[in-house]
Amino acid sequence: MTTINETELNQAIQAKTESLLAEFEALSQYIYANPELGLAEFKSSQAHVDLLEKHGFSIEKPYLGFETAFRATYASSKPGPTIALLSEYDALPGIGHGCGHNLLGATDTGAGIVLRYFVDTYGGTVVVLGTPAEETNGVKVDMAAAGTFDDIDIALCTHPSDNYYESGRSMAMEAIEFRFHGKTAHAASNPFDGVNALDGVLQLFTGVSLMRQQMHPTARVHGIISDGGKAANIIPDYAAAQFYIRAQDKPYLAYLHDRIIVIAEAAAQASGTQMEWFHYEKTYLNLQTNPILSNKYNQNMAAFGIEMQPANEDFGSLDMGDVSQVVPAINPYYGITGGKAVGGHTVEFREWTLTPEGVDGMRKTINALVKTSLDVITQPDLLAEIKASFAAQVKG
């Protein structure tokens, strides 16, 4: 194996990133100016595809039947691992790119493009996946289930934040809607002729609240009454509630699911109503960060001047969790706010994506993603460690 001069390789990566950075910044700005909700990211996904095609990638789009998903591939003529970079580009209702997905997509697509210029020398294949609708019905779930990652060795996704955080964990999540059916009646004249569907919903909430005392403190169950009736003088024959159920792993999520279904059935029996339930959004599995891959990425970030902060105790849920259950994966965060504490899903965070600090976060993250990918490509022992660690995670 040819000895690699780490300093020279890092310098070459930085130079290539810098030469293409204006194109990546323009992609981010275009998507910022054209915010599109999940599964409707027609302009955003096409902008990614156009840039990837310009740099020699072959494109499959639509992908898995999703109009705004794509799979872009650049295969070198030399053998080696297949590296996947995952790009998001969906916006939020009302505030556009308050989660920074314009910058996220440009960063991860940018990393794939920069890496493409090194694999001809070092071997391997680069895959950039366009993954719509992370905020709602994340298509990464479908990709994981459909075998998209069967021929991929590692998967990398990054996310803008107010600081540089190591890849950590996210919560497994189910989104369940409960619908209760009763019988209308005049609420004053003859309420005794009615069956109050709202009573079923209220007893469901009471039962869930009582259950919380025995829940593990890391778990979360939170819901709303999405339909409570139409008028105060009518016994409602229909009422509905939507809940998110979150847990740190799939087994405890299944336990909470079973408990809450029993509570809903008991609420229906107690109120004399009929109840049905279904998933109104996709179920997300928990993110399991691959520790070997994460450590390598953190080391490379340090080489480019960034000391990663410990992972946040994140009680949110990501469709990247499903990816991490089928392939070694990481989902680190990078700072774009100059160290200022700014919450995501806000107008203020959206504006930071257009700043020099945002561009610098993109620059450093691309460098670390590319170097980490090349480490995996050029160090068979490293890839073997990553895969052994993943096998232990899955078995556990």
Both structure tokens of 54: 């310009």
pLDDT in tens, 180-239: 999 999 999 999 999 999 999 999 999 999 999 999 999 999 999 999 999 999 999 999
Q: Residue 325, Cα to own-chain centre: how many angstroms?
A: 13
Query: What is the secondary structure of 22-69 as a DSSP string?
Result: HHHHHHHHHHHHS---TT--HHHHHHHHHHHHHTT-EEE-SBTTBTT-
- What b/e readout covers 318-341, taking b as 16+ CB neighbours within 10 angstroms? bbbbbbbbbbbbbbbbbbbbeeee
CA–CA gap between residue 194 and residue 339 (Å, rounded): 59
Going 4 to 5 to 6 to 12, the CA torsion angle's sign is: negative
Q: Residue 131, Cα to own-chain centre: how many angstroms?
A: 9
- The pTM of the full predicted model, rounded to 2 decimals, is 0.92
Question: Tell me, what's the pLDDT at 315?
Answer: 67
Q: Which residue has the tokens 């690699």?
A: 4
Question: Tell me, what's the pLDDT at 314?
Answer: 65
Segments in the chain below pLDDT 70: 1-2, 314-315, 396
Query: Above pLDDT 70, what percent of the chain?
Result: 99
Both structure tokens of 281: 């959004």
Both structure tokens of 138: 């994340």
Question: Tell me, what's the pLDDT at 396?
Answer: 67
